[in-house]
Amino acid sequence: MREGWLVDPGTNWVWRFHRDDKAWVRDPKVFMDRGMAMPDGQPPLLKERRHVPQEDAETIWRNLKSMGWKRTEPLWGASAEP
């Protein structure tokens, strides 16, 4: 897993999954950022960050997909990193 994005079509909340390169070799971890893209070029609204083991992130990804969340293109960039 390098990076993946899921959006809830009903609410437009987004989860961004991206690996923690500093911990990947010895203890694979994934950052999960929850937020929402804002209109008119405003910075995204970032509400939550989780740091979870890779296996947990993959389980959460599958669960969200089964609940109707859809893959999407990246909605914000590195400038929005917390």
Those residues whose C-beta lies under 8 Å from the C-beta of residue 34, and which sit 6 or more positions away, are 13, 14, 15, 16, 46, 47, 48, 49
Q: Report the alpha-carbon angle 77-44-40, nearest 5.
A: 100
- Amino acid symbol at 36: M
Q: Which residues of the chain have pLDDT under 70?
A: 1, 78-82
- Predicted pLDDT at 32: 97
Does the reported pTM lie above 0.75?
Answer: yes
Separation CA 7–CA 34 (nearest Å): 10
* Model pLDDT, residue 82: 57
Q: What is the pLDDT of residue 81?
A: 61
> Would you state the pLDDT for residue 25?
82
> Token pair for residue 79?
């400038």
Output the six-digit token pair for 16.
């961004």
For residue 24, the model assigns a pLDDT of: 81
